[in-house]
Amino acid sequence: MTTTLRLAPRESLRRFASTLLAATFSAALATAAFAADPVTLRVGDQKGGNRSLLEISGFAKDLPYKIQWSEFPAAAPILEALNAGALDVGHTGDLAFLSIYAAGSPIKAIGGIRANADTQAILVRNDSPIKAAADLKGKRLAGTRGGWGQFLIDATLEKAGYKTTDATFAALGPVDAKIALVAGSIDGWAVWEPYVSYAVLKDNARVVADGKGLTPTLTFIIASDQAIATKREAIADLLQLLNKARLWARDHIDEYARNTAELTKLPEDVLARAYKAQDNRPIAIDDGVIKEFQEASDRATRYGILPKQVDVSKAVDRSFTTAAPASN
């Protein structure tokens, strides 16, 4: 015979309340554990870039969030990954950023770095008959399409009184352009540091023109709109750490060059020369930077580098650099 145990109403209620309390406590623990999971920032980088800057300077320790670093060979694929939603944060030159922003990419510039404008240069072989910008007419000049290289070539020709079509433009990346210059298959190469220092120190190249008065020489930290909306606190902290690390690197050039030489396999003397020449410093995105960037953008549109005019003020989020350590 089966005996059914009947609980008194009060005992039944007590057991139900105990079970409910246990379930509620377990759910609360699970929620707390989930909330305690740190935010993960997916950051695109290049070898010897922001990751090594943070690690060498000591600012990568004890972060309240995780960084998932992805290394890319150049800025273009970083921008593509940001556009596709595969990254939260990356960095790139000003015009490369505008090119993809103008195409409708949901990204913003949230911080920036300024280098000296003469660290963008047009190089020739040491035995070249080209002595100055005036000698570039009719020559074959290589640079990156849609970025600093093409812009510097066009701006230099215009400054010399020529049309942008008065020289032949060869769209080549840095590696191919370096080989072509050494081989003599191009007459000049528009490029930036540390390629300039390498060419001058190791390939005996000469600088015949540079970006002074022609380009703002800005590199931007870029974030996706989605990441800005959902990971703002972590992104703001990362940006501040990068700014502090950049200031550290300016005061420790030899140490920084020695450590990045091990990572990049570039000669230490090349990197030391490049870092001194660049004098990279963080900037706040203020009215002056926006005006300067807008002028460069309008010029790039006129050259056909950008497909259409861009309102730079809508391409930036100024809130991240309001209190940034900056040197505009």
Domains of the chain: 40-115+217-321 (3.40.190.10), 118-210 (3.40.190.10)
Residue 188's pLDDT is what? 98
Low-confidence ranges of the chain (pLDDT < 50): 1-14, 16-35
Helix axes 268-278, 195-202, angle to 10 degrees: 130
Q: Which of 8, 38, 299 is nearest to 159 (CA)?
A: 299
**CA atoms of 148 and 193, how far apart (whole Å):** 12
**CA atoms of 177 and 34, how far apart (whole Å):** 50
Residue 74's pLDDT is what? 84
225-264 tens-digit pLDDT: 999 999 999 999 999 999 999 999 999 999 999 999 998 9
pTM summary value: 0.83
Q: What amino acid is encoded at 65 in this protein?
A: Y
C-alpha 213 chain-centroid distance = 22
Residue 326's pLDDT is what? 55
Residue 76's pLDDT is what? 86
Which tokens belong to 125? 């072989």
Residues in CB range of 323: below 8 A, 6 or more apart? none
Ranges of H-type helices in 184-286: 195-202, 225-230, 232-251, 253-264, 268-278
Q: Is 201 exposed, middle or buried (0-12, 13-18, 19+ CB in 10 A)?
A: middle
**CA atoms of 250 and 73, how far apart (whole Å):** 25
Residue 213's pLDDT is what? 92
**CA atoms of 88 and 103, how far apart (whole Å):** 18
